[in-house]
Structure 1
Amino acid sequence: MHIRPATHADLPALLDIHNDAVRTLKAIWTDKLDTLEDRRAWFDARQAAGLPIIVAETEDGTVAGYGSYGPFRAKEGYRLTMEHSIYVAPEARGKGIGKTLLARLIEQARADGNHVLVGAVDGENAASVALHQKCGFEITGRLPQVGMKFGQWLDLLLMTLVLDDRPVPPKN
Structure 2
Amino acid sequence: MIRDAKPDDAEAIAEIYNDAVRNTTAIWNDIEIDAQNRRDWIADRQAAGYPVLVWEQDGEAVGYASFGPFRPHDGYHLSVEHSVYVHRDHRSGGKGAQMMEALIIRARETGFHVMIAAIDAANTGSVRLHERLGFDHVGMMPQVGKKFGRWLDLALLQLVLDDRSQP
Q: TM-score, normalised by structure 2?
A: 0.98
**Residue aligning to 2:31:** 32
Which whole-Å CA distance do the structure 2 matches of 1:129 and 1:49 have between them? Answer: 28
CA contact (8 A) 2:25 2:120 kept: yes
**Residue aligning to 1:6:** 5
SS in 1 for 2:157: strand
Percent same amino acid among aligned pairs? 49
CA deviations over 1:43-65 (Å, ceiling 9, x no partner) = 1210110110000112x222110
CA contact (8 A) 2:67 2:80 kept: yes
**Residue aligning to 2:96:** 98
CA deviations over 1:98-122 (Å, ceiling 9, x no partner) = 0000000000000000000001100
1:125 to 120, 123, 144: 123
**Residue aligning to 2:151:** 153
For the pair 1:110 / 2:100, whether they are aligned, the reply is no
SS in 1 for 2:134: coil
SS in 1 for 2:85: strand
For the pair 1:48 / 2:47, whether they are aligned, the reply is yes
| 5+ residue gaps, structure 1 | none
**CA displacement at 1:42 relative to structure 2:** 1.3
The code of the aligned residue for 2:29 comes to: T
Aligned structure 1 segments of 4 or more residues deviating by more than 3 angstroms:
none
CA contact (8 A) 2:144 2:153 kept: yes
Q: TM-score, normalised by structure 1?
A: 0.95
- Count of aligned pairs: 167
SS in 1 for 2:71: coil
**CA RMSD, aligned part only?**
0.7
Which whole-Å CA distance do the structure 2 matches of 1:53 and 1:37 have between them? Answer: 15
> How is 1:124-143 mapped onto 2 (pairs within 5 angstroms)?
124-143=122-141
**Residue aligning to 1:17:** 16
**CA displacement at 1:94 relative to structure 2:** 2.2
